[in-house]
Structures are given as C-alpha cells and as structure tokens.
Amino acid sequence: MTAAKNRPLGEIHRDERLPIVAMLLLSLALFLAGLFRPFTQVTKLWLFENQVSVYNGLITLFHQQEYFLFAILLVFSVTFPFVKITALLVLWLKPGLEPQQASRVHRFVANLSKWSMLDVFVVAVLVVLIRAGGLATIKAQDGLFLFCASVVLTQIASEWTGRIARKTLQASD
C-alpha cells in the first residue's frame, strides 16, 4: 500500500479521472457562460425590458457605489465557485499530489461549498426585491440555467472526488 501513498489521486484512479475531469471542465464552461449570459429578463410596466446577467449586475452595483453588495456577489457568486472548480481540477490534474494532500484540498472544497450557498440567497433576495415593485415581472433566462447546471455538476464531481479521496486515504494507511 505504500506505493499508492506516493502516487497522485488521478494516477491511482485512472478509470474515474476522465469522467470527473470532463464534468469539471464542462462545469467551468457552464459557469463562465452563466456569468455573462442573461440571468433574468425584467419587464417593467409591460413596456420596458432589461436583461440582467451576473456580470452586468456586478458592473451596475459597482457604478452605483453599492460596494458591499458588489463584494458579496463577487465573492460568493464568482470567486468561490471558480476556486472550487479549480481546486477540484487540481486534485485530478496536478502530478505528484499525494492522497493526504488530496484529502486536505477536498476538505477545503467541502468547507468552501458551505459558504457558496450564500449566492443562492443573494439571488433570491434580488428576485424578491424586483418582484416587490408590483409593476415588474421577471423571467428566468438561459444564464440562470447554465449557472445552476454548473453548480449541480460541480457538486456531483465534488462528492465523487470526496468518496474517492477518503477511500484512497484509508487504503494508504
């Protein structure tokens, strides 16, 4: 078992490496597309339409000097998911990453995931605020679905990786 101790996770589990890496790369592509594609379409007074993406929302918040909301949205909806996907890719693609290191990286990703739920809360609050206007309707656009698909794929890859990391760590002890 000591031979497995010095081999990276992706080398030990070659049969599971390709589907997980493909899932994470697809998740990254969906995440980036979800940031720039329209998230919602807001119609006010049945005449004025505005499509809002996460990127446009961030720019708007910054220009309106809503720095606190800008920072929350940037950190929890952009930075955390990007770091999570990247860290999971490192687990599978970085040569020389030992099972103990892989386990630490996965624990970091798991802890990061707990904080990532805040982006869902922020989006929900924004939807409630927009709907509270009474004269506005809001419709989900493809950016929302792309973003959600990225979250789901990342979560599946994270759980799968965690199971493998725990099993590998136990086998190397």
H or E, element range at 106: helix 99-131
User: Scanning the structure block, which residue is given the tokens 């080398």?
Assistant: 11
What pTM was computed for the model?
Answer: 0.78
CA gap 125, 138 in Å, rounded: 13
- Per residue in 8-67, pLDDT (tens digit) is 565 666 778 889 999 999 999 999 999 999 887 777 766 666 777 888 888 988 998 989
Q: What confidence score (pLDDT) does residue 138 get?
A: 73
Express each pLDDT in 77-108 by its tens digit. 889 889 999 988 988 887 776 767 777 887 88
SS3 40: strand
Architecture of domain 2-172: Up-down Bundle (1.20)
